[in-house]
């Protein structure tokens, strides 16, 4: 037998007494003896005796050959293990990649939104009359067309279907409302708009709304619970006229468009997020955009209060009427909450500031407005008596009055020329 087959012939379990490394002659001698048999499985192998001349090794059992079926089964098991391992690696890689991708998308989307809004803020800026607040008031053409269509539909509904929308054309105080509104419109310089007033028969609601084309809707709840004189009525109407003068409606439409454009892709990712961390990552920019739009809405409302106080004071009304108006509204709202046993809504989740905060703010504004309309002529007196913010507002108010009077004279001249 050749040397390369020794490992197949020798079995260590039965030939433990044979050294591992033997000379080549001894290995050939031991394997060439055919007369000895292998010991029984339970018998202990006997060592060589010193006096014996015959040395033999037991007959070694051959290992059974593997069949083709066992080889095929072994190969199929390996293939199954490889497929399962590859599938597990792929699922783990996809989970890690999806998590990293979601985080990267959220961060990049937030960076793109902030960069875009910053660029738009510096490129499409427009100052608000009188207050000087710089804001973005750009609306695309298709949105302007939709706004005009909606306004025309609202006007048709108000004029043709007055009974369905609870409009009272026979309200006894309608003439007084129109007279107060006319004085405020003259103070604002918006004479080119066809203003109309409609009263909604809703005694349990204190609400008012103005449209861009000059339609003012007021509920009867204001007249039942808050308005009792012309000054309080002028405070309410001056607030609505100030919205049109400051173009707050276009600004609100732009903010809504930006909020919808930004939050729409994040909303789909947040709804499809299977892990709570991914849902939070995609929902956080949406909530931030929502609270930012609500904060801007409250800024516009406070700005309309301030401009409305200036307009009503310039038209000859007492600005203190705004304090009495909102004090009555606040008292009535507290009565409604007590009757319903409800809690007051948090201000940061509302589009309008609370009546109590409006009252505190107006108490600070009324002395400033009296200083602005007081007409202090000396620059030294102005520097001593008025802060820098009031001086800047006074300069903007004087510029607004000059532009308003100039436009009014120009319109009068054009009307006379057309008549001749």
pTM of the predicted model, to two decimals?
0.67
Give dist(CA 153, CA 278) in Å, integer. Answer: 43
Is there a contact between 130 and 390 (Cβ–Cβ < 8 Å)? no
Name the packing angle between helices 248-271 and 276-314 (round to 10°).
Answer: 170
- Which ranges in 124-207 belong to alpha helices (H)? 141-160, 174-188
pLDDT (tens digit, 0 to 9) for every residue of the chain, 420 residues total? 444 444 444 444 444 444 445 444 444 444 444 444 555 566 555 555 444 444 555 555 555 555 555 555 555 677 778 778 878 887 777 677 666 767 777 778 778 877 877 776 677 788 898 998 888 777 777 777 777 777 777 777 766 655 555 566 667 788 899 999 999 999 998 988 889 888 888 888 888 989 888 889 888 888 888 898 999 999 999 999 999 999 998 888 888 877 777 777 666 665 555 455 556 666 677 777 788 888 999 999 999 999 999 999 999 999 999 999 999 999 988 888 888 777 777 888 888 899 999 999 999 999 989 888 875 444 544 544 556 678 888 899 999 999 998 888 888 888 888 876
**Rg of the chain in Å (alpha carbons):** 46
How many helices (DSSP H) and strands (DSSP E) are in the chain? 13, 5
Q: Are 61 and 38 in contact (CB under 8 A)?
A: yes
Pairing of strands 208-210, 196-200: unpaired
Q: Any long-range contacts for 197-203 (C-beta under 8 Å, 24+ apart)? A: 198/158, 198/167, 198/169, 199/167, 199/168, 199/171, 199/173, 199/174, 200/165, 200/166, 200/167, 200/168, 201/166, 201/167, 201/168, 202/166
Report which of 36, 45, 39, 37 is spatially closest to residue 18, judged by C-alpha positions. 45
User: Distances in Å between the alpha carbon of 336 and those of 213, 225, 226?
Assistant: 33, 12, 14
- What is the per-residue pLDDT for 339? 82
| Pairing, β 126-127 against β 196-200 | unpaired
E strand residue ranges, 25-79? none
**3-class secondary structure, 95:** helix
pLDDT of residue 187: 92
Give residue 6's pLDDT.
47
Note the pLDDT of residue 158. 66
Largest CA distance in the chain: 156
């Amino acid at each position: 037998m050749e040397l390369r087959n020794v490992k197949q012939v020798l079995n260590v379990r039965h030939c433990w007494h044979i050294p591992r490394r033997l000379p080549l002659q001894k290995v050939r001698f031991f394997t060439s003896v055919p007369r000895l048999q292998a010991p029984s499985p339970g018998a202990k192998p006997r060592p060589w005796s010193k006096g014996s001349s015959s040395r033999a090794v037991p007959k070694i059992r051959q290992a059974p050959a593997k069949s083709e079926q066992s080889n095929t089964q072994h190969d199929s098991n390996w293939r199954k293990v490889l497929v399962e391992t590859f599938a597990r690696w792929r699922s783990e890689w996809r989970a890690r990649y999806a998590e990293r991708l979601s985080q990267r998308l959220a961060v990049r989307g937030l960076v793109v939104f902030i960069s875009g809004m910053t660029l738009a803020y510096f490129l499409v800026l427009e100052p608000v009359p009188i207050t000087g607040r710089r804001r973005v008031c750009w609306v695309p053409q298709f949105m302007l067309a939709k706004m005009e269509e909606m306004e025309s539909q609202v006007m048709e509904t108000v004029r043709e279907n007055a009974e369905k929308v609870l409009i009272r054309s026979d309200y006894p105080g309608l003439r007084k409302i129109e007279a107060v509104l006319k004085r405020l419109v003259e103070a604002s310089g918006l004479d080119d708009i066809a203003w109309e007033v409609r009263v909604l028969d809703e005694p349990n609601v204190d609400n008012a709304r103005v449209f861009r084309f000059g339609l003012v809707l007021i509920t009867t709840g204001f007249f039942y619970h808050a308005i009792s004189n012309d000054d309080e009525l002028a405070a309410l109407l001056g607030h609505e006229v100030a919205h049109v003068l400051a173009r707050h409606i276009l600004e609100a439409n732009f903010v809504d468009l930006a909020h919808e454009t930004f939050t729409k892709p994040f909303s789909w990712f947040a709804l499809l997020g299977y892990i709570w961390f991914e849902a939070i990552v995609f929902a956080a920019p949406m909530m931030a955009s929502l609270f930012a739009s609500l904060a801007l809405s409250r800024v516009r409302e406070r700005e309309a209060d301030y401009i409305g106080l200036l307009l009503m004071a310039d038209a000859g009304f007492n600005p203190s009427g705004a304090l009495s108006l909102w004090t009555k509204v606040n008292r009535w709202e507290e009565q409604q909450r007590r009757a319903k046993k409800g809690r007051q809504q948090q201000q940061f989740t509302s589009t309008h500031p609370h009546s109590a905060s409006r009252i505190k703010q107006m108490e600070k504004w009324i002395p400033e407005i009296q200083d602005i309309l007081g007409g202090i002529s000396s620059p030294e007196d102005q520097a001593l008596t008025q802060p820098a913010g009031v001086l800047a507002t006074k300069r903007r108010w004087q510029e607004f009055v000059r532009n308003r009077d100039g436009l009014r004279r120009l319109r009068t001249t054009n009307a006379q020329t057309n008549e001749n």
